[in-house]
Amino acid sequence: MPMQNVFTGKTGTITLRTDTSSPEDSDAATVVNDYFKKNDPAPIVGRATGIQVAVQTDLDEFHEIGHRHPIVLHPGNIHISGSIDRAYVSGALVMLLLGRRASKDAQPDTYVQPSFGLVLDLNDPAVPDAHAKLEINDVKFQNWGVKMPEDDFVMENVTFRALSIHVVDTETGTTTPHNPFPATP
C-alpha cells in the first residue's frame, strides 16, 4: 500500500545521533550525553516548536543563441540546510555550535566544531506501522539566536548545514524501507 498518510508535528520527533569516529563527532557526543539523556543512543530534542529542512540544487541552464528557453539543465552543487526553533534555552545548542569555545574554562585557540546527525521521524498513531523518516547526516550548526520578549515565551533558534540527507519511508504491512536505488556491488 503506498504511503498516503499525512502527518503533523505533534506526532513527530527530532533526535540527535552521534558517534565517536572523528574529533567532531566525539565532541558532539560529549555535549549530547551531558545535556540530554545520559548515554541514550538517540536522545529526543525536547521543546522544539518548529523545524525546517531545505535541499537546494544549483541547476545550470545552457541557453543557445536564438532560443529563449534553456536547451539543457546540468546538475550543480547540492546544499542542505535548515533551522530549529526551541522553547527552552540551555547551553546544549550553543555548545553544539561553538564546541569547546563555549565553555567558561580556558580552551585552546584551535578546536573542532561538533558534527552530528538529526533524525526526523513522523508517525501517525492511527497507522503505527507507517513511518516517514529523514536522516540528516554530518550536521553543523551555523547560527544561534535567542528571543526574549516581554510577554511571550523565550525561544532559541539555530540554523544548520549538512552534508547528506537520506529518506527512510516504511509502509504499513512491511518492515523494509523503500529503496528504489539499491547499492550495486
CATH code of residue 54: 2.30.110.20
What band does 35 get if pLDDT is binned at 50, 70 and 90? confident
163 inside domain? yes
Cα 136 to Cα 118: distance, rounded to the nearest angstrom: 5
Handedness of CA 16, 9, 97, 103 (dihedral sign): negative
68 inside domain? yes
Q: pLDDT value at position 12? A: 81
- Number of independent structural domains in the chain: 1
Instruction: Report helix, strand or coil for 59.
Output: coil
176 inside domain? no
Please provide residue 33's backbone torsions phi and psi, each rounded to the nearest 5 degrees. -65, -30
Q: Which of 23-27, 52-56, 152-156 has the highest mean pLDDT?
A: 52-56
Contact 81, 56 (CB under 8 A): yes
Cα 15 to Cα 101: distance, rounded to the nearest angstrom: 24
Contact 86, 93 (CB under 8 A): yes
Domain span at residue 52?
A: 9-170
2 inside domain? no
Is the pLDDT at 2 greater than 60, yes or no? Answer: no
Q: Averaged over 113-135, what is the pLDDT?
A: 86
Is the pLDDT at 1 greater than 50, yes or no? Answer: no
